[in-house]
Structure 1
Amino acid sequence: MALVMGSKGLRVPVDFNVFIGGISQAGRVQSFKHPDIEFKTDDANLAGVLGEVSIPLDLKAMKCELVLKDVNRTLMGRLGKTDNTPLVIRAAARSLDDTVDSLKITINGRFNKLESGEWKPGEAATQKYAIDLDYYKYEDGGEVVYEIDKLNNVLIVDGTDLWQGMRAALGQ
């Protein structure tokens, strides 16, 4: 598990649960892989500037993965579709002083890939889903760390709306 550093010191996510449309998937999910958040940039060598600079444009595609030890009919039915039912991942992060904080991730997008793996006698089968995200929100203790809503042109990082000026310029 990843370590989370914050004002409260070192914290480690020790357990998590996934909710689909508010319904707990406890005991079914094996792992969740967070999306990479990466800006597209244009490298430019400009007059009057000492060397090449990267000009931020917008965000690259965000993808995440969900692995289940379950033949999950609900998720199988979402393959190839855009569904407005969010997936919520809630985690408990424990610090060295044994305090526990809540981490919450809300995602939405298209389930574009399913790997059903192999079925073998005496072994649990897995399903691995790849999800192309339109929406990603990461909250730590109720505070928004990231909120990315591609379809509504929203990019919030640690409470600052980085795309507010862009929306205003576009009349949105």
Structure 2
Amino acid sequence: MKYYANKVADLFPTIKKSGKYIEIEDVTAFATPEISFADGEVSGAGIFGTVNIPDIYNIEAMEASITAKSFSSGVIAAINPSGVDLRLNWAVDNIGGTYDTSYTAYTATIKGRPKNIPAAEAKKGEGLEMTINIACTYYKLVKNGSVLFEIDPLNGVLIINGKDYSKELNKALNK
């Protein structure tokens, strides 16, 4: 049976506080980091000119964000200059050809430090929203229990689409 992703059914963001994950209340949205590879240059050895190709071992700075409606205890915990450990969970509602429904589960683990303390702009009769941007030092994305990405530049871990590129590099370097 072929399924089609329909919509995000629900969000459940959590943050590690005092050794356990607690819910971040009032979160309306979050964004996982974009993974961008810086270019590497290839030249010489019979190549005419210089060719720029993405270098998978040269990952540019990653940034995630969470958007909330208030300064809840979870949001306050995310404004910790010493670092944050987020676990963002969401489910996508899938629709099949016979109108049956299933869900695809995602979990993103993000570690880093907040880049900003959000301003609270309040107007009578309107909802409040604020966004915290997080400079990521670790990112892992799991879909239905399978690791899609795990990027830990500080510890030399690079897994893309389930393939451990860091293992191959470390083997080539006799590490």
Settle same-fold status: TM greater than 0.5: yes
- Structure 1: tracts of 5 or more residues without a match: 1-6
Residue 95 (structure 1) aligned with residue 129 (structure 2): no
2:75 paired residue number:
75
Whole-Å Cα distance in 1 between the matches of residues 2 and 59 of structure 2?
A: 30
Query: Please, which of 164, 170, 173 is the counterpart of residue 167 of structure 1?
Result: 170
| Counterpart residue identity of residue 105, structure 2 | S
Residue 153 (structure 1) aligned with residue 161 (structure 2): no
Query: Please, which of 8, 11, 14 is the counterpart of residue 9 of structure 2?
Result: 14
Query: Please, which of 136, 147, 159 is the counterpart of residue 144 of structure 1?
Result: 147
Identity %: 25
Residue 129 (structure 1) aligned with residue 132 (structure 2): yes
Judged with a 3 Å threshold, the aligned counterparts in structure 2 of structure 1 residues 133 and 126 are, in CA distance, closer, same or farther, namely same
Question: Do 1:114 and 1:127's aligned partners in 2 also have CA atoms closer than 8 Å?
Answer: no
Question: Do 2:148 and 2:160's aligned partners in 1 also have CA atoms closer than 8 Å?
Answer: yes
Report Cα offsets for 1:95-146 as digits up to 9, x if no partner: 1121112111111101111232412122222221010001111111001011
Residue 40 (structure 1) aligned with residue 38 (structure 2): yes
- Structure 2: tracts of 5 or more residues without a match: none
Whole-Å Cα distance in 1 between the matches of residues 10 and 105 of structure 2?
A: 10
Whole-Å Cα distance in 2 between the matches of residues 131 and 112 of structure 1?
A: 5
| Counterpart residue identity of residue 10, structure 1 | Y
Whole-Å Cα distance in 1 between the matches of residues 10 and 39 of structure 2?
A: 36
Residue 86 (structure 1) aligned with residue 85 (structure 2): yes
TM-score, length of structure 2 as denominator length: 0.81
Q: Secondary structure at the match of 1:96?
A: strand
Whole-Å Cα distance in 2 between the matches of residues 30 and 74 of structure 1?
A: 13
Looking at both structures, which has the greater relative contact order when contacts are Cα pairs under 8 Å and sequence separation is at least 6? 2
Query: How many aligned positions are there?
Result: 163
Shifted more, 117-126 versus 35-44: the winner is 117-126
CA RMSD, Structure 1 to Structure 2 (Å)? 2.3
- Return the offset for 1:15: 1.9
- Return the offset for 1:78: 4.5
